[in-house]
Structure 1
Amino acid sequence: MLVLATGQAWRRRSVVSDNGLVRSVERVTAVLELLSARRQPLRLGEIAQELDIPKSTVHGLLHTLAAQDLVRRDEEQRYRISIRLFSLAATALGFEDLRDVARPAMRELSESTRGTASLAVLDGHDVVYLEKVEDRSSLVQVVTQVGTRVPAHINALGKALVGALPPGERERWVDAHTFTQVTGSTVGDPEAFRAQLAAQDRLGYAVNDQELHPAVTAWAAPVRGHGGQVVAALSLAHLGSPPSADQMHELGVRVRDAAARVSEVLQSG
């Protein structure tokens, strides 16, 4: 998620206007800054308490923001910044940036492996694809396109992004997720998924071993921005027969290194 305010800057903004400013706009800004400053979603009552605004007012603000897809509400009635707001902010900053910064590493990864490189973010319990670079010489292409939504547990990008959540949030995510099976290899229950997350914690990359499609093996690693906050994940998808164990690890390391290069550029910018 793109941080729109740093530190506790939101605390310093008065939500009571005495200088001719529009109070509702100030309050909307305060809500968005609070949500962006917190790494975990917040409930309506928590937002009202933090900003000292009546719950009824906060409810109206959140209802309007949600209707405009600027905030999202999860199954536990908690609110967070939406992907749409991220996209608007990124465009305003000239930050097609995330995609622009990631594209060279994705292109190099795709060309050197003859695979498909993708960039995605987590939106609730789905992965949303932001960018894709594929090997044009291949006669068979991975069908996912920019904007495609996929349940997070069935691909490497989702596993990398869920694995990067703070521990408590990760546990709540797993508890609330529906583990629908897509292939015979798809992880089918919370404990098996937790085991996969533990393995990727050790390796530094996630693996999708024919869980999305029998012909697809993929690896992914998180991309981190300023302060080490995860802003996306980068993946490589391989079509055809599964690689050997040695190749599996080698390709996972290459994806991890590519994601680290993108992270370095973002953090130095």
Structure 2
Amino acid sequence: MAAGDGVVKSAERVTALLELLGERRTPMRLMEVAQALDIPKSSAHGLLQTLMARGFVVRDDLQRYRIGMKLFSLAATALEFMDIREMARPTMEVLAERERATCNLAVLDGHDVLYIEKVEDRSNPVRLVTHVGTRLPAHVTALGKVLVAELPPAARRLWLSEHEFSKLTSQTRTSAVQFSRDLKQYENVGYALDRHEFHDAINGFAAPISDATGSVVAALSLTCLGTSTPEDEQVAIGKRVCDAAEEISLNLHSNGVVGA
């Protein structure tokens, strides 16, 4: 249950426990944990058992507890995303202001795209619903098309066979066959399109971002409000998005950044 300030007590105890174990240089016994957190021994035991089951805490042969490797893995991923976000943001700000549109940075997480950075055109009074941390089904976004297209062939085939192509608008791709045609188009022109497939008022353009190894680790998109873009203008915008994505990729290459 949440307190008046919105804090969930059980979640607060979990974070306090992880912080406690993270601050200690040596593993702790159950009683030490309970005393340090000023909670009943049974409560401490329940928290530790739950975190052990998820790999966040491990117990040694002397029945002492310490931070597990899963937390290190999550921290490493966060740092990698932070590098990409920090290096991408200046280019995103220029693109968003020049095009008077919203610029997004996202990665593929299973069957969703996960937005890890966003820059809005401040002169535009209309704000889009997406924000950092938003997840959307990959098949309804230009970002998702880029990221799925860049999967290794076997992984892409598996992804297509397992994905649920839910319909959000009349333009949403509702089958692997339809979606695959868009992937082919992306491969031909170098950028992907979202033609009102997520929302009737949104067009999207996206291009890949590669890290220092040359692997595609993220995608950059420009989200434009309004009716469909004329084809000649569409090509021009697509090229500018590709140029911005390439600029970010070169920045990652030169700084030796390796993505998640």
Normalising by structure 2, report the TM-score: 0.70
**How far off its partner does 1:230 sit?**
1.2
Structure 2 residue aligned with 1:239: 225
1:118-267 matches, within 5 Å, as: 118-267=104-253
Please list the CA deviations of residues 210-268 of structure 1 after superposition, one character each: whole Å capped at 9, or x if unmatched.
00000000011111002211111110000012211111111111111111110001011
Gaps of 5+ in 2: 1-50, 57-70, 256-260
Following the alignment from structure 1 to structure 2, what is the Cα–Cα distance between the partners of residues 65 and 267? Answer: 38
| Aligned counterparts of 1:85 and 1:239: Cα–Cα separation in 2 | 40
Structure 1 residue runs of 5 or longer lacking an equivalent are: 1-63, 70-83
Counterpart amino acid of 1:128? L
Query: Aligned with 1:136: secondary structure?
Result: coil
Q: Deviations over 1:61-106 (max 9, x none)?
A: xxx899358xxxxxxxxxxxxxx8776215557x621101000111
Structure 1 counterpart of 2:76, from 85, 89, 96: 89
Task: State how many pairs are aligned.
Answer: 193
Distance 1:171 1:90 in 2: 26
What residue number does 2:254 align with? 268
1:32-43 aligned at under 5 Å gives the runs: none
1:243 maps to a residue whose letter is T
Counterpart Cα distance in 2 of 1:262 and 1:188: 32
Q: Is the 1:223–1:230 contact (alpha carbons within 8 Å) kept by the matching residues of 2?
A: yes
Whether the aligned pair in 2 keeps the contact of 1:90 and 1:97 (CA below 8 Å) is no
Q: Residues 226 and 266 of structure 1 are in contact (CA less than 8 Å); yes or no, is this contact kept in structure 2?
A: yes
Whole-Å separation in 1 of the counterparts to 2:103 and 2:116? 11
SS at match of 1:237: strand
2:91 to 93, 101, 105: 105
- 1: CA distance between counterparts of 2:53 and 2:249? 30
1:14-36 superposed Cα distances (whole Å, 9 cap, x missing partner) = xxxxxxxxxxxxxxxxxxxxxxx
Indicate the SS of the match to 1:96: helix
CA distance in 1, matches of 2:111, 2:177: 17
How far off its partner does 1:175 sit? 0.9
**What is the CA–CA distance in structure 1 between the aligned matches of 2:52 and 2:137, rounded to whole Å?**
24
Identity %: 45
Structure 1 residue 170: Cα displacement: 0.7
**Structure 1 Cα separation of the partners of residues 251 and 74 of structure 2:** 19
1:136 is matched by which residue type in structure 2?
R
Relative to the length of structure 1, the TM-score reads 0.67
Secondary structure of 2:132's match?
A: coil
